[in-house]
Amino acid sequence: MDSNRTEFSFAALALAFVIGGLIGAGLGFLFCSSNKKGNTGKNKGARGGARGKLRDAFETIREEAKELAEAGKEKFSEVRGKVQESIGRIKKKVSPTKEEEEAKEA
């Protein structure tokens, strides 16, 4: 007896899915516009707006990237100068001068 109830509930569930699908398809056709050219025009307008927004966002990102690149170049030049100064000071401390070399030779 329990098996009959399970089969009945499965059949009812399957029937409910089929009926729901048919009702959904019917409503889709009912509310679908018959003027396809009008819909295409609306879609093109929406795509054009999205394309414009995408271009604006791309330009903004490009400008920010250029600014960051310039800032990076300036910082690199700054650090490079400091490193070269430090290397020069280290070389002076490490390598003996000509006067010291002459004193050692004599």
104: which residues sit within 8 A by CB, 6+ positions away? Answer: 96
Q: What is the pLDDT of residues 37-90, one digit of tens each?
A: 555 555 555 566 778 888 899 999 999 999 999 999 999 999 999 999 999 888
Q: What is the pLDDT of residues 5-51, one digit of tens each?
A: 555 677 788 888 899 888 988 888 777 766 555 555 555 555 667 78
Count the residues in the chain.
106
H/E run at residue 34: none
Please give the model's pTM, rounded to 2 decimal places. 0.40
Region of residue 103 (phi > 0: left; psi between -120 and 50: alpha; otherwise: beta): alpha
Structure-token pair, residue 57: 């966002």
